[in-house]
Amino acid sequence: MRKILLLSLVIASPLAIAGPQCTSAERSQWQDPKAFQEQLKAQGYEISKFKITDGNCYEIYGFDKDKRKVEIYHDPVTGKAVKAEIKG
Protein backbone atom coordinates (compact mmCIF):
# COMPACT_ATOMS: atom_id res chain seq x y z
CA MET A 1 0.00 0.00 0.00
CA ARG A 2 2.86 2.39 0.80
CA LYS A 3 4.34 1.85 -2.65
CA ILE A 4 1.06 2.79 -4.29
CA LEU A 5 0.77 5.95 -2.17
CA LEU A 6 4.35 6.99 -2.91
CA LEU A 7 3.93 6.31 -6.60
CA SER A 8 0.75 8.39 -6.74
CA LEU A 9 2.53 11.28 -4.99
CA VAL A 10 5.43 11.14 -7.43
CA ILE A 11 3.07 11.12 -10.41
CA ALA A 12 0.81 13.88 -9.05
CA SER A 13 3.58 16.22 -7.86
CA PRO A 14 4.61 17.58 -11.27
CA LEU A 15 0.96 18.24 -12.08
CA ALA A 16 0.50 20.17 -8.86
CA ILE A 17 3.38 22.54 -9.59
CA ALA A 18 2.79 22.94 -13.32
CA GLY A 19 1.79 26.34 -14.63
CA PRO A 20 -1.53 27.24 -16.15
CA GLN A 21 -2.82 26.24 -19.57
CA CYS A 22 -2.94 29.50 -21.53
CA THR A 23 -4.12 28.70 -25.04
CA SER A 24 -4.87 25.97 -27.50
CA ALA A 25 -4.54 28.35 -30.47
CA GLU A 26 -2.17 27.56 -33.32
CA ARG A 27 1.26 29.13 -32.92
CA SER A 28 0.65 31.15 -36.07
CA GLN A 29 -1.91 33.15 -34.03
CA TRP A 30 0.53 33.93 -31.21
CA GLN A 31 2.18 37.31 -30.83
CA ASP A 32 5.81 37.48 -31.86
CA PRO A 33 7.85 36.67 -28.70
CA LYS A 34 10.38 39.47 -29.24
CA ALA A 35 7.72 42.09 -29.94
CA PHE A 36 5.75 40.91 -26.91
CA GLN A 37 8.80 41.31 -24.67
CA GLU A 38 9.43 44.78 -26.07
CA GLN A 39 5.85 45.77 -25.18
CA LEU A 40 6.41 44.63 -21.60
CA LYS A 41 9.70 46.52 -21.40
CA ALA A 42 7.92 49.66 -22.64
CA GLN A 43 5.51 49.21 -19.70
CA GLY A 44 8.46 49.24 -17.29
CA TYR A 45 9.17 45.53 -16.88
CA GLU A 46 12.72 44.24 -16.67
CA ILE A 47 12.81 40.69 -18.03
CA SER A 48 15.45 38.36 -16.61
CA LYS A 49 14.10 35.18 -18.20
CA PHE A 50 11.49 34.49 -20.87
CA LYS A 51 10.22 31.07 -21.87
CA ILE A 52 7.34 29.25 -23.51
CA THR A 53 5.77 26.79 -21.06
CA ASP A 54 4.30 23.35 -21.62
CA GLY A 55 0.90 24.99 -21.04
CA ASN A 56 1.42 27.25 -24.08
CA CYS A 57 2.11 30.40 -22.07
CA TYR A 58 4.70 33.11 -22.36
CA GLU A 59 6.30 33.11 -18.92
CA ILE A 60 8.49 35.92 -17.67
CA TYR A 61 10.70 36.23 -14.64
CA GLY A 62 11.97 39.67 -13.74
CA PHE A 63 10.88 42.92 -12.14
CA ASP A 64 7.87 45.18 -12.55
CA LYS A 65 8.01 48.98 -12.83
CA ASP A 66 8.14 49.22 -9.01
CA LYS A 67 11.20 46.93 -8.96
CA ARG A 68 9.26 44.06 -7.35
CA LYS A 69 10.33 40.57 -8.38
CA VAL A 70 7.63 38.91 -10.50
CA GLU A 71 6.78 35.69 -12.28
CA ILE A 72 3.96 36.13 -14.79
CA TYR A 73 2.26 33.75 -17.24
CA HIS A 74 0.73 35.44 -20.30
CA ASP A 75 -1.65 34.18 -22.96
CA PRO A 76 0.54 34.44 -26.10
CA VAL A 77 -2.43 35.30 -28.31
CA THR A 78 -4.00 38.12 -26.27
CA GLY A 79 -1.01 39.07 -24.12
CA LYS A 80 -3.26 39.03 -21.08
CA ALA A 81 -1.68 37.97 -17.77
CA VAL A 82 -3.19 34.60 -16.80
CA LYS A 83 -1.31 34.13 -13.53
CA ALA A 84 1.02 36.50 -11.69
CA GLU A 85 3.11 36.13 -8.59
CA ILE A 86 4.86 39.07 -6.95
CA LYS A 87 7.81 37.81 -4.97
CA GLY A 88 9.00 40.92 -3.24
Question: pLDDT tens-digit profile of 38-84?
Answer: 999 999 999 999 999 999 999 999 999 999 999 999 999 999 999 99
The reply to whether 5 falls in a domain is: no
* Long-range contact pairs involving 10-15 (C-beta distance under 8 Å, separation at least 24): none
The reply to whether 2 falls in a domain is: no
- pTM given for the model: 0.78
What is the spatial distance between Cα 27 and Cα 31, in angstroms, rounded to a whole number? 8
The reply to whether 69 falls in a domain is: yes
The reply to whether 6 falls in a domain is: no
| Beta strands in the chain, from DSSP E residues, in sequence order | 46-52, 58-63, 69-74, 81-86
| Residue 11 confidence (pLDDT) | 47
The reply to whether 58 falls in a domain is: yes
What is the spatial distance between Cα 69 and Cα 34, in angstroms, rounded to a whole number? 21
Q: Write out pLDDT tens, residues 3-47.
A: 554 444 444 444 445 689 999 999 999 999 999 999 999 999 999
The reply to whether 76 falls in a domain is: yes
| Residue 40 confidence (pLDDT) | 97
